[in-house]
Amino acid sequence: MEEKIEKKVEFYCLLYEKIQRRLSSLNIGDVKEVALKIFEQVIKETEKEKTSQKSKKENKIDKEKKLATRKQREALHKFGLKKIPKDLTKKEASEILDKLISYSKEDDREAISRLVQELNMRWSLSR
């Protein structure tokens, strides 16, 4: 852990020095103060980006683990699916609904029927 912190400190020091060098060639009054402000802004944006990426990753994990919502189950029923497994996840329900909606937009009733029959058969056998 300590090594990780040291690497971070080294990175931040190098970043600050780089900002300072670039500013010193621009004939700016208080180079250190301006460099510090830029450095602070870069760090804020970096942290914000990391938080956003972490949040996206957590949402993906949630979708893979959480059970299908009531609305997803209702939509699946409207397409004719029966005996939807209690452990169907949001991700699985979403993928099935995406296919069914896509077939529906293409007006491919045969494909809808095939998929519904296949899932109904599979789900009735897995009980």
In order along its 127 residues, the chain shows pLDDT tens digits of 688 888 888 888 888 788 788 878 777 777 778 777 887 888 888 888 888 877 777 766 666 679 999 999 999 999 999 999 999 999 999 999 999 999 999 999 999 999 999 999 999 887 5
Amino acid, res. 86 = K
In the block, which residue shows the tokens 């870069």?
42
Distances (CA, A) of 51 to 40, 46, 47, 54: 16, 9, 6, 5
| Whether the Cβ atoms of residue 79 and residue 48 lie closer than 8 Å to each other | no
Q: Which two tokens stand for residue 110?
A: 């045969």
Nearest CA among 80, 77, 84 for reference residue 113: 80
